[in-house]
Amino acid sequence: MSLRRTQVAIIGSGPAGLLLGHLLKAEGIDCTVLERQPRAHVESRIRAGVLETVTTDLMHRLGLDERMNREAMVEDGFNLADGDLLVRIDIKALTGKTVVVYGQTELTRDLIAAAAQRDLEIVFEASDLALHDTDSDHPSVTYVSGGVAHTIECDFIAGCDGFHGPSRRAIPTDLVREYSHEYPFGWLGILADVPPCHDELIYANGPRGFALASMRSPTRSRYYIQVPQGESLASWSEERLWDELEGRFNGISHHGVTRGPALEMSIAPLRSYVFETMRHGRLFLAGDAAHIVPPTGAKGLNLAASDVTYLADALIGHYDQRGEAGLLDYPQRALARIWKSERFSWSLTRLMHSFPDQAPFERRMQMAELEYLASSQAMQTVIAENYIGLPL
């Protein structure tokens, strides 16, 4: 048995856990990141790619932005489409800000690669992980690594371990406040080394449902289409998916869909979920451990970044002897932004998808709303402000 101590034990090496670890180490606060998966698995996970200012500002603040500045694509706008109607939302003109296209995979690799230089310890393949005494002044975490049982005693535990991790389950059920909504469809995605069909993202709706044309770089594209809940990946060949994408985008995109072999194909379910009990004693939740948003609007990673901004400020304040107010206020501060982002993703999902029980009247309402959006700068400004991310 190995026993040691740190100030903050961070569970999970996704962007939330890694960003929090770097923020704390930059202020001289000792912390350890524990991850049940191997490093190669963590660095290969395919996730979102649109970064709000809140996320890029954190990378600038940490001095980890060199590769992002060199390789990321700056987007001044994005597009909403229904049939032949294509509405461009000029986010730069409407808000003075932009978003950055830089894959979560790349951001995670940057954070892991910089950990050694900042003396941020990341323990990969930490199995049988369990949280103990989280409502006391002496919480701890146990895990097994290399066949050896380890215990880390700490002041605080940050649960950044996603929807399926142990941190949320460590909170007593009688204290739980959670809200959930399941959508009756998923997203079938394909990643390929082909040039994008359009210079900016296109969220499209139509008789066959939702589709998204996005990119990771000028030579790598990410496409999605709506599929029924429970759809099997085995039902879709690459050829069938490319045929569907051509039918959706060739008529409205600038360049047309270019086919290529898939680097990855997967189906992701869609849900909206908020776990409001983000604090229990010395345990704090951040990122997907506390909330899930539909990928419509690209809020998941960016909400994780805002969570850890609030949490890092609260922990730094505690160790700077500014009191406990920041720690006590953390859930309220985080949830105010979480619910607004949930609302935006929910509303954009409702607008841009076909629902199985959708009546003709509801379909006409979708079309009318997009037509109104096309002619209303005020409506476009609301969309743009939410897309770039609301203020912290």
SS3 assignment, position 71: helix
Q: Which residues have CB under 8 Å from 157's CB, separation 6+?
A: 8, 9, 10, 11, 131, 134, 139, 141, 167, 282, 283, 284
Over its length of 392 residues, how does the chain's per-residue pLDDT go in tens digits? 899 999 999 999 999 999 999 999 999 999 999 999 999 999 988 777 899 999 999 999 999 999 999 999 999 999 999 989 999 999 999 999 999 999 899 999 999 999 999 999 999 999 999 999 999 999 999 999 999 999 999 999 999 999 999 999 999 999 999 999 999 999 999 999 999 999 999 999 988 889 999 998 899 999 999 999 999 999 999 999 999 999 999 999 999 999 999 999 999 999 999 999 999 999 999 999 999 999 998 999 999 999 999 999 999 999 998 788 999 999 999 999 999 999 999 999 999 999 999 999 999 999 999 999 999 999 999 999 999 999 99
CA angle 241, 200, 46 (to 5 degrees): 55
- Going by their DSSP bridges, the two strands 31-34 and 121-123 should be labelled as parallel
| Confidence (pLDDT) at 286 | 98
3 state SS of 133: coil
The domain spans of the chain are 2-74+101-179+272-348, 183-270+352-388
If one counts every other C-beta atom within 10 angstroms of the C-beta of residue 136, the result is: 10
Strand pairing partners for 88?
79
Find out if CATH 3.50.50.60 is the number for domain 2-74+101-179+272-348: yes
**C-alpha closest to that of 213 among 231, 194, 228, 233:** 194
Query: Do 341 and 303 touch, CB atoms closer than 8 A?
Result: yes
Domain 183-270+352-388: give its CATH architecture.
2-Layer Sandwich (3.30)
H or E element that contains 19: helix 15-26
Residue 56: which H helix or E strand, with range?
helix 53-62
CA distance 82 to 252: 10
The pLDDT, as a whole number, for residue 207 is: 82
Cα–Cα distance, 35 to 10 (Å, whole number) = 9
Give me 50's structure tokens: 């649109």
| Contact status, residue 280 vs residue 135, Cβ threshold 8 Å | yes
Distances (CA, A) of 353 to 214, 233, 357, 359: 17, 20, 12, 13
